[in-house]
Amino acid sequence: MKPFFIGNIEIKTPIIQGGMGVGISLSGLASAVANEGGIGVISCAGLGLLYPKGKGDYTEKCICGLKEEIRKARQKTKGIIGVNIMVALSNYAEMVRTAISEKIDVVFAGAGLPLDLPLYLTPESKTKLVPIVSSSRAAKIICDKWQKNFDYLPDAIVVEGPKAGGHLGFKKEQIQDEKYALESLIPEVVAIAMSYKERKDIPVIAAGGISTGEDIARFMQLGASAVQMGSIFVTTQECDASQTFKEVYIHSKPEDVLIIESPVGMPGRAIDGEFIRNVEKGQEKPKCCSFHCIKTCDYQKSPYCIIKALYNAAKGNMKRGYAFAGSNAFLSEKIRSVKEVITTLNNEFLLATCQLTPAKMKT
């Protein structure tokens, strides 16, 4: 797999590890991926729960947690570290400011349009800004808004298709519609990125349901410079989730991977379990809220508290939570090291490339 650049940063292995909250991708997983030449990503979601002894309220605990996770990652790697910050977070602005002040390499922002993201850069900032979108229309809106309001264009764009895990930027009826498949989205967003080539080189990163080196080769043939992968890294030794959480992936079957309704107001993809069935029965309604972690969440109308559910699952309490997962999460068979995963992907990519090249030459 060829290296690529985000601005002046060279990524030797064109794999970005997807940000997975709450507590799934922290400094442990992120540093391991960075050490293999990819971009390791710390998820900002729910850090206040993971650092309960920090000073102040939930927001202040989140800031403390983010600083600590970045510091830990820096101790474990000299590679490239990013953070994933959902626009839907109530403390989105504080987390962006903190990440930039801590000199994080890349900020990935999705779950909403990060229309003001360049606003948080300072004159001395070297942090790269990468929005996560689910359509070419969103990519165009972001590029135009950033250019007009900040004289800035994205340093890269992640395109997340409907096979991704966690929250999805699609309506339920669009998830199985071929018009919204990642294979359709990538060429469209590549065309948008190319329209700005006179001003900036904007690489496009494919995400959502990518699980093999053959997948990587296919999306690179469509114009992607790199891929983002999440689920494949959950069942690694270095992943920050509990062993119990990882085993949910390993023991899952294709029919266990479901589309659910999230309190955030988006459909999401997760692995079925006792908690999800209890939610359907109306047995998990929250009585209060100490966090207000998501802008759009009203606990009085929510079927359950999503941050607590994800936190409980990450810690291994699957009766009180569930695992978000990509469409191919069930392919996981055993716990491996990050190095093993990336070596396998490289070998699969090489084999697929050798097979694809003659076919392309014939056409």
pLDDT, one tens digit per residue, over 235-288 is: 999 999 999 999 999 999 999 999 998 887 789 999 999 999 999 888 888 776
Q: Six-digit token pair at 171? A: 């309506």
- The rounded distance, in Å, linking the Cα atoms of 104 and 81 is 6
Tell me phi and psi for residue 221, to 5 degrees. -65, -30
pLDDT of residue 361: 38
* Residue 148, pLDDT above cutoff 50: yes
Tell me which amino acid residue 235 is: T
The answer on 173 and 305 residing in a single domain is: no
Q: In the predicted model, what is the mean pLDDT of residues 5-13?
A: 97
* Residue 298, pLDDT above cutoff 70: no
Q: In the predicted model, what is the mean pLDDT of residues 75-86?
A: 97
pLDDT band at 295 (very low <50, low <70, confident <90, very high): low
The answer on 180 and 104 residing in a single domain is: yes
Contacts 24+ apart (CB under 8 A), 308-311: 308/49, 309/275, 309/284, 310/21, 310/22, 310/23, 310/45, 310/46, 311/22, 311/23, 311/46, 311/49, 311/50
The answer on 197 and 85 residing in a single domain is: yes
Q: In the predicted model, what is the mean pLDDT of residues 316-328?
A: 94
Q: Is there a domain that residue 361 lies in? A: no
The answer on 268 and 193 residing in a single domain is: no
According to DSSP, the residues that pair with 41 across neighbouring strands are 82
pLDDT of residue 266: 81
pLDDT of residue 359: 47
Tell me phi and psi for residue 129, to 5 degrees. -115, 125
The answer on 253 and 236 residing in a single domain is: no
* Residue 356, pLDDT above cutoff 90: no
Q: Helical H runs in 25-173?
A: 27-35, 47-50, 58-76, 92-101, 136-150
Residue-wise pLDDT for 98-110, tens only, equals: 999 999 999 999 8
For a pLDDT cut of 90, what percent of the chain falls above it? Answer: 77
Residue-wise pLDDT for 169-198, tens only, equals: 888 888 888 899 999 999 999 999 999 999
pLDDT of residue 339: 98
pTM of the model as a whole: 0.93
Q: Is there a domain that residue 362 lies in? A: no
Residue-wise pLDDT for 156-177, tens only, equals: 999 999 999 988 888 888 888 8
The answer on 277 and 187 residing in a single domain is: no
Mean of the per-residue pLDDT values for the chain?
92
- The rounded distance, in Å, linking the Cα atoms of 83 and 100 is 10
Total of domains in the chain = 2
Q: Is there a domain that residue 133 lies in? A: yes
Burial string for 54-86 (b: 16+ CB within 10 Å, else e) reads beeebbebbbbbbbbbbebbbebbebbbbbbbb
Q: Is there a domain that residue 266 lies in? A: yes
Q: In the predicted model, what is the mean pLDDT of residues 88-104?
A: 93
Residue-wise pLDDT for 204-232, tens only, equals: 999 999 999 999 999 999 999 999 999 99
* Residue 358, pLDDT above cutoff 60: no
Pairing of strands 226-229, 204-207: parallel
* Residue 362, pLDDT above cutoff 50: no
In DSSP notation, 122-159 reads -TT---EEEEEESSHHHHHHHHHHHHHHHS---S-EEE
Who wins on pLDDT, 87 or 81?
81
pLDDT of residue 164: 94
- The rounded distance, in Å, linking the Cα atoms of 95 and 1 is 33
Tell me phi and psi for residue 149, to 5 degrees. -90, -25
pLDDT of residue 307: 87
Count how many Cα atoms sit within 13 Å of the Cα of residue 167 in the half-sphere of its side chain: 24
pLDDT of residue 363: 39
The answer on 199 and 68 residing in a single domain is: yes
Q: Return the percent helix, strand and coil in the chain, to nearest 5.
A: 40, 15, 40
The answer on 276 and 162 residing in a single domain is: no
pLDDT of residue 302: 81
Domain that holds residue 124: 4-240+333-352
pLDDT of residue 270: 95
CATH number of the domain encompassing residue 210: 3.20.20.70
Q: Is there a domain that residue 358 lies in? A: no
